[in-house]
Chain A
């Protein structure tokens, strides 16, 4: 068969890592003006390559800290963090207001040394595939909240790292848009499989999207429960198996 230089649009980007993510009894303490705050104490989790792991926990239990540890932005005080190269998608989209949607999505290849045009060429096929066609030239302030999160997700994808750390990506959206974005993300991950650590407040979001759900205790955070979600994809929110898992996860959260 003949090979073309341009990969066909449906071909995934093929980003693999051998490790996935392994966090082993990690402790992280911050010393601030008000004394010491232990964000994480004895936190452990694993995500196999291409597994989608959701992490749910109460506010302030160290979820964002966990993601920064996985991304190598912080070091643990004790314990181990072993992970393939990881990229962060922060809660706020942090799109650059002076760049078009396309140039925002193409930010990673651009700062990694590609020319503007070469970086755009990487991003363009993804716009068509993931429901952003026609918005390439829009500035972020011209996009809806859902659109902005899509662009932010494509920016994360185009960093070319095997692990995606998503920090409450849809928390700021209204309920309807959030559901829409969850389906969108499920589709995007089916097309572009990655190792994903998805932090969320939303138990429904966790069971709809993840292969496994880790429940964390209040601060200092650690894993207190783990649920496997075996329902096949595409999933329906109203699937009784998922509803039962939601109840289980809620119970674990309350017990923690």
Chain B
């Protein structure tokens, strides 16, 4: 509610500023131009949103699956953990803007380089937050499981993995945001569709309103995805909220 009011106020200020000629409309179009572009170009924008949305969703899924597996492996083997953690950190310092065009040349214009880049930027938050959650299981709890007759694998399955799920969700929420940036950069590096392509193309054509419309759609998509994830988490892990309250 409050968020909606703030957004409304910001739009009002922006409209006033642009209408009063504070800045060239090619650089900052007023919101009503952006709105009319959203409406007039809806077919074109919708198609490209689907392309970007598909890349983002698929990329996040890949990162979640691979991240969970790697986090479990690193949790089980301290050696692996020590070996991989620095590599993981290093992967985050890769300047995507620079590498993206090279990847496109290498992997082609299709989905592959986009999935790779989205996966790359999402992977780290997923692995780190899952790994932390796995390691935060009480030592007492692990002892208890041993005296109850649980093998290492059973303990991992029945105790550590469920406790790591809230961590996996936190990672996924961060990944939603970073994945958008990744997908747009990947599309700008070489693509004939997607919202990243729309932004590059529209800016080149001096159709700034359309570029802003694409940005607005991206933000909206991210907000919706984030809210869906939060709702899914509440539904799937009802115990996590009360447990957090208790501690």
Contacts and interface: CB of A to CB of B under 8 A. Distances in A.
Contacts of B141: 94
Interface string B228-247: 00000000011110110010
A107 B154 CA distance: 11
Task: Tell me which of B138, B144, B243 has the highest count of chain A C-beta atoms within 10 A of its own C-beta.
Answer: B144
A143 interface: no
B148 A108 contact: yes
Interface stretch (A2-10, A45-53, A85-93, A193-201): A85-93
A248 to B, nearest CB: 33
Given A73-B143, A87-B148, A111 B246 contact: no
B203 interface: no
A72 B242 CA distance: 34
A73 B243 CA distance: 28
B140 A92 contact: yes
Contacts of A96: 158-159, 162
Nearest to A158: B148
Contact of B147 (A71, A92, A97, A98): A71
Contacts of B239: 97-98, 139, 141
Contacts of B150: 108, 111-112
Q: Report which residue of A68, A96, A111 has the largest number of chain B beta carbons within 10 angstroms of its beta carbon.
A: A111
A159 interface: yes
A115 to B, nearest CB: 13
B155 interface: yes
Contacts of B155: 111
A120 interface: no
Given A98-B237, A107-B158, A111-B154, A73 B146 contact: yes
Q: Which of A97, A112, A141 has the most CB atoms of chain B within a 10 A radius of its CB?
A: A97
Interface residues of A, number: 25
Nearest to A113: B154
A98 to B, nearest CB: 5
- Mostly, the A contact residues are loop
A110 interface: yes
Interface string B159-173: 100100000000000
Contacts of A97: 239-240, 242-243
Nearest to A152: B144
A111 B140 CA distance: 17
A94 B242 contact: no
Nearest to A159: B148
Contacts of B140: 90, 92, 94
B95 interface: no
A91 to B, nearest CB: 9
A17 to B, nearest CB: 14
Contacts of B138: 94
B66 interface: no
Nearest to A67: B147
Given A108-B149, A111-B149, A141-B246, A88 B237 contact: no
A63 interface: no
B18 interface: no
Interface in B130-154: 138, 140-141, 143-151, 154
Contacts of B154: 111
Nearest to B165: A98
A98 B243 CA distance: 9
Nearest to A96: B159
A141 B148 CA distance: 22
A83 to B, nearest CB: 12
A94 B239 CA distance: 14
Q: Which 7 A-B pairs have the closest CB atoms?
A: A111-B150, A97-B239, A108-B148, A111-B154, A88-B147, A98-B239, A97-B243
Interface of A: 68, 71-73, 86-88, 90, 92, 94, 96-98, 107-108, 110-112, 139, 141, 155, 159-161, 165
9 contacts: A73-B143, A87-B147, A90-B140, A98-B240, A108-B148, A110-B158, A111-B150, A112-B148, A139-B242
Given A111-B149, A159-B149, 8 more contacts: A87-B148, A96-B159, A96-B162, A111-B151, A111-B158, A112-B148, A112-B149, A139-B239
